[in-house]
Amino acid sequence: MKKLVVSAIALSALAGAYFVRGDRREAPAAAPRVEAPARATCAFSAGDRLAYTLRLKQSTALDLTSAFPGASGSAARLDLDAHGELVMETIANEKDHALVALSFPAMSAIDARSGAPIAIGDVATPMLARVSRSCAFVALGHRRDADPTGARTQQSLARSLEIVLPDDPAQISYERAQRDATGTFTARYGRTRVDGRDRLERRMLGYDRLFAFPEALHAKAATPHARATIALGDGPWIASLEESVTAAFLSDRGPAGSMTVRKELHAIATPAPLGPIDVAAYVFDDLLDAEPVATPAPLPAELAALDAPHAIAKYEELLPTKLSGPGEAIAFLSKYLAAHPEAVARVVDELRGGRFTAERRAPVFAALALSDTREARDALIAIARAPQRGFDALDRSRALAAMAAIPTATPEVTRSLVSLSQSGARGSQAEIATSATFALGAWGARQGAAHPELAAEVRGELTTRLGSDKGKALADVLTATANMGDPALLPKLEPHIKSGDPATRARAASALRNMPARSIEIEVRDWLRTETDRDVRRSLASAAQASAMKSGGPSEILVAAASAALPDETDAVTRASLVRLLGPAARTNAAARDALYAAIGAERDPETLRLLGRYVSATSAM
């Protein structure tokens, strides 16, 4: 069988996906994820345990033959039959909630077709959950550490689910939309009463996700079905889950295959000794490692041999639908123009003549910049510098943004950006000045230590304007300062940090976001202690988090500052930024870990709970 690598985020709570490498079938690297809505009195004692006996049967059929024509055997099937136990143990009991750990001490699976054993993952890793009076079960997530070989990166699962179960079962109807950078999942929960027994049902409404395959594939769920039922009585609780989905994969070139997943889960649990929990349900999620996308290959000889008109037509052919980005088209055109700089004039003529629609014009400017030729650089400068036939103010702004991405540093670009950033404050010229100012900061950041003379020229321009500009011009230069991220500009920010105008302070706070964490740690610490405006605190916390991420993690001073600010912070958005700042350090920094663990008991915002679940494991909690 020809080697095939498929990678995807699994179909969330809808369906667990598996991937195939060569002839070896693998189960998800992550342990199953449990979510359970319920209602409780919280009359738990530390050490209370509840064990569920589980059986999970799943069939996954994957067919990507049409996505990889010429690859034999790209259709795969996996039948899973898993048996095991889920244990919920109370680890702490507080006034209005309890903390419980979920773990899988015994779980095994076989390929139902071949009888071969299948590894489930490190199923002993606990998860952490909060049981409260109003929404009795909020699953925070679990963490899986890298394996000893370093072959897998650290991953974490984290979603929050809050379902309030009113006294009247007919009242409940809860819709959850899980959104991230790659897709949307929507489900509806409903509680009914059948023959005197409570039943909680979940019905899948829609699923749409973009997957990271070797080429961009988009999966659209078709004819989905999902239903979870929990029957409660005097005896053992019996829960069942039935799910099925067929996802059709589409590429830029049309249909590319499909995946069908069918799942059944059955569980039996005895309610004692956890006390009077009214309803409990759970759904498994799976997570797969995403394979890195390969570096684009050099331009094939047959494409390099195209003349300019056919190359432009090829660019348009490669442009995507709304299902994926323009990266492939930009890569092709930039490589072609690098090999054929004489074709730049033809591309500019096509732009001037209005050949490309709005969504097709912007990628052309990016391709011109990335071709890194003198002809393309001169063309971009000419378009940005002055109004001309066929290019409006938006095109000039596109050219300015593209200039900041030109790989080769040249004084001509610096001088053009400086000149245009000072070009006036009325009408379209004001828009051009704003775009040029933003691009100037980004251009200065790209020079850095490699071209200190150009970086110094940009720094000098921003220094002057930080001391003189007012109003909209000052707002623009503060954004440019953020783009550059030069700590040498920090002293020039002090008057704006202390401004009586909250909007100015907020922009000054944002200007710190790309500076090294150690250069801003004292400023952030002292500012967090005294700032009272909500929007300014949001900007400051967000900037500190971004700085820490770019610096490889927060410094000890930033950890202490965020830890001190988190307990008393009343704004959920600011708390989320503080959690993101502390989270990456929690694995090795006890102070960060303690601050996150302490936040769990007081946190009520679902999004912040989800973030906490990324970084706090029950192992560390216990």
What confidence score (pLDDT) does residue 568 get? 93
Do residues 37 and 312 lie in contact, with contact meaning Cβ atoms separated by under 8 Å?
no
What pLDDT score does 493 carry?
96
Q: Which of 76, 70, 72 is nearest to 21 (CA)?
A: 76
- CA-CA-CA-CA torsion for 374, 378, 380, 385, nearest 10 degrees? 160
Query: Before 236, cis peptide (omega within 30)?
Result: no
Which of 285, 315, 350 is where one domain is finished?
285
The arithmetic mean of pLDDT across residues 305-324, rounded, is 80
Last residue of a domain, one of 254, 269, 285: 285
Look at residue 424 and tell me if it is in a domain: no
Q: How far apart are CA 8 and CA 286, in angstroms?
A: 11
In the structure, what pLDDT confidence band is assigned to residue 297 with cuts at 50, 70 and 90? low
Number of domains in the chain: 2
Q: Identify the band that residue 248 occupies on the pLDDT scale cut at 50, 70 and 90.
A: low
Does 360 map to a domain? no
The span from the CA of 394 to the CA of 535, in Å, is 30
Q: How deeply is 352 buried, as exposed, middle or buried, from its count of CB atoms within 10 A (0-12, 13-18, 19+)?
A: middle
pLDDT (average), residues 284-292: 23
Q: Which residue has the higher pLDDT, 179 or 569?
A: 569
Rounded Cα gap, residues 434 and 473, in angstroms: 8
pLDDT band at 567; cut points 50, 70, 90: very high
Region 260-280: what's the mean pLDDT?
49
> Residue 97's beta-bridge partner residues?
132
Please name every residue paired with 83 in a beta bridge, in sequence order, or none if there are none. 55, 108
Is 612 inside any structural domain?
yes
Torsion of Cα atoms, 277 then 283 then 284 then 289, to 10°: -120
Q: Is residue 61 part of a domain?
A: yes
pLDDT at 215: 43
Helix axis angle, 308-318 to 358-371, nearest 10°: 120
- Among 285, 320, 346, the domain boundary falls at 285
Two tokens, residue 446:
């790209």
Predicted local confidence at residue 360, as pLDDT: 82
The answer to whether the CB of 102 falls within 8 A of the CB of 127 is yes
| pTM for this model (two decimals) | 0.56
In sign, the C-alpha dihedral spanning 538, 535, 537, 97 is negative
**Rg of the chain over CA atoms, in angstroms?**
28
- What lies within 8 Å, CB to CB, of 531 at 6+ separation is 505, 537, 540
Structure-model confidence comparison of residues 80 and 66, the more confident one: 80
pLDDT confidence of residue 100:
54
Q: Rounded CA gap, 316 and 402, in Å?
A: 19
**What's the domain range around 619?**
516-622
Q: pLDDT of 516-556, one tens digit each?
A: 999 999 999 999 999 999 999 999 999 999 999 889 889 99
Computed over every residue of the chain, the mean pLDDT equals 67
pLDDT at 270: 46
Pairwise CA distance, residues 367 & 326, whole Å = 10
Does 534 reside within a domain?
yes
Q: Residue 108 falls within a domain, yes or no?
A: yes
The mean pLDDT value for 108-135 works out to 54
Residue 136 lies in a domain: yes
- Residue 48 lies inside a defined structural domain of this protein: yes
